[in-house]
Structure 1
């Protein structure tokens, strides 16, 4: 917590007057505990904090996707409006007071052994949180998605200081995680988590040979989708030495248009014909299709069904750690 220095009471009129004059020249009384400071939207994709514990009375200024926000103290009641932020907070051993669900998941299932959801208030779906419920928890910090929550950013800012963090790529996640830790005075814990991920990536790079081609695909009855190379999952798999094949653009008409995906037909998947296909959703619908059976990955038993909750909805340092573990095990035969 930030601490504020109390003035000393000094006896003697002359000395008291001198001290008063000095204080008038050098002190600034904070007008509120937390205040938002506007800046150009989209200025910087990661959080950047300024200020140190030595100048705690001035707080810290956080630079984010919607501008800058100034905090006068370390936030205690935090609302996480996407799974990525629940992941980040859990990695920092901080429990939010409120969070959101995505689809049928009320919180990231892969965090069930680490995230205590018992006393966390659900404020609705990530794509449309209930602002009245959110307001009732009286947060002192809201972490929002720059894409999902663009239309309600002014309402969120009226409730509490709000920051919008980019979670599109693995690199952006780690950058924001580092600086969020600084804001929450959790640098030591963040360093520990990042060291573990760096070691796992280095190990994966040694084990994953010959740059295998890969794609992460959502197989569904209506629209099947593929994650972009620049996405969180695409950038993470690229980092360990795979050749992630889909470098196309985000498709706004896709089912999950707020994320970095594009539509992908089975015919198009056959054109890519990757060494490995990581699938979630309803891949069983393809089993009897000749196009599916003719895929190289299917013929070589390298078409693998994975958890949608982790590989699609999961984004954050803890998700990265688990995905790396699973991916390397699959691509190295469990070595």
Structure 2
């Protein structure tokens, strides 16, 4: 059973109900210290990666931020979300919907929700992670603590570490490749570096990165003029499109450009289109499991 499927095997269809009275404890987070119930029964989560964390920990939220390009959820979590209510996007939360769900715990992110933290805290105890990029495990451990499910959190991370170690062994000499990660967006191209979701996972596996990407930073924001900097022994690329076709149009334009066609990875046939949701936007533990599966499939080491 794969990492991703082993997580979902334990996820209930409806919100998990915990036994016993709700007793309080303190959790330190990005915006302070909050007294939270020991066994929260109605949790609202306001980030995509936070939603994945809850599902992996066996908790179905009563409400959650819409998946960015889902309707309302990413395909890989839709079944597990059960009757969860979408409460708006990460950057446009509907506070009235959140309040109507009568949560006993809200989980958000300071980068997205610092301005509405007072309103959220007036609705229910609210715990905020700090960043929304790089190492998902930092936020995951905080969410596990907020839910009172630290043991389950440690077990989930141990499962991930074991999956990484197993894939690393199977990849063997392939890890000597320098892998490049490129994202196409409307009017912009990003060359991803180490402090990104995909960058952390590739580093966990032990892949090498081209010099310009082997930097403890998030990404280079650029355009077609930087195509020569996108090369590597192998290129993974994905596209963010808002529905107007601009992201896809830029991707198609770049992929047909003579400069792109001259890259060594393109010449060698080592270019792979992968899912923006899995390799970047979902950003959580379940996406990490699916990204490992993608890499195993691409390298033929399932």
The answer to whether the superposition gives a TM-score over 0.5 is yes
Aligned to 2:54: 89
Q: Quote the residue 1:80 is aligned against.
A: 45
What CA distance in whole angstroms lies between the structure 1 residues aligned with 2:194 and 2:29?
Answer: 23
Please give the residue correspondences for 1:144-183 in structure 2 after superposition, counting only pairs within 5 Å. 144-165=108-129, 166-170=131-135, 173-183=136-146
1:328 aligns with 2:296: yes
Write the distance in 2 (CA, Å) between the matches of 1:304 and 1:143: 35
The answer on 1:195 being equivalent to 2:158 is yes
Aligned residue number for residue 284 of structure 1 = 252
The Cα of 1:208 is off from its aligned counterpart by 4.3
8 Å contact kept, 1:221–1:285: no
User: Offset of 1:240 from its aligned partner?
Assistant: 0.5
Question: For the Cα contact (< 8 Å) 1:108–1:310, is it kept in 2?
Answer: no
Give me the TM-score of the superposition, normalised by structure 2: 0.80
CA deviation after TM superposition for structure 1 residue 185, in Å: 3.9
Q: Distance in 2 between matches of 1:262 and 1:79?
A: 33
Question: Could you tell me which of 218, 221, 225 is aligned with 1:267?
Answer: 225
Query: What residue is the counterpart of 1:140 in the other structure?
Result: 104
CA contact (8 A) 1:208 1:241 kept: no
Distance, in Å, in 2 between the alignment partners of 1:97 and 1:326 is 30
Counterparts of residues 1-335 of structure 1 (less than 5 Å): 59-105=24-70, 106-113=72-79, 115-117=80-82, 119-165=83-129, 166-170=131-135, 173-206=136-169, 207-209=171-173, 210-245=175-210, 246-247=213-214, 260-281=218-239, 282=248, 283-330=251-298, 332-334=299-301
In angstroms, what is the RMSD of aligned CA positions?
A: 2.4
**CA-CA distance at 1:280 after TM superposition:** 1.3
Residue aligning to 1:8: none
2: CA distance, partners of 1:191 / 1:289: 46
SS at match of 2:102: coil
Q: Deviations over 1:115-138 (max 9, x none)?
A: 234x11111111111111111111
Hey, what's the Cα distance between the residues in 2 that align with 1:167 and 1:224? 19
For residues 221 and 185 of structure 1, the distance between their equivalents in structure 2, rounded to whole angstroms, comes to 41
Q: Which has the higher contact order (CA 8 A, sep 6+)?
A: 2
Partner Cα distance (2:260, 2:271) in 1: 10
- Please say which structure displays the higher CA radius of gyration: 1
Deviation, 1:69, is 0.9
Corresponding residue for residue 15 of structure 1: none
> Structure 2: which 5+ residue stretches go unaligned?
1-17, 240-247
Q: CA deviation at 1:327?
A: 1.7
Label 1:249 to 1:102 Cα distance change in 2 as closer, same or farther (>3 A). farther
For residue 72 of structure 1, report the CA deviation from its aligned partner: 3.8
Q: Deviation digits for residues 199-234 of structure 1, max 9, x if unmatched?
A: 111122221425322232212341112333112221
Larger CA deviation: 66-75 vs 230-239: 66-75
Q: Which moved more, 1:221-230 or 1:126-135?
A: 221-230
Whole-Å separation in 2 of the counterparts to 1:122 and 1:220: 25
Give the direction of change, closer, same or farther, for the CA distance of 1:310–1:296 in structure 2 (3 Å limit): same
Q: Go from structure 1 to structure 2 and tell me whether the alpha carbon gap of 1:228 and 1:60 turns closer, same or farther (over 3 Å shift).
A: farther
Native 8 Å contact 2:182 2:230 kept in 1: no
- Larger fraction in helix: 2
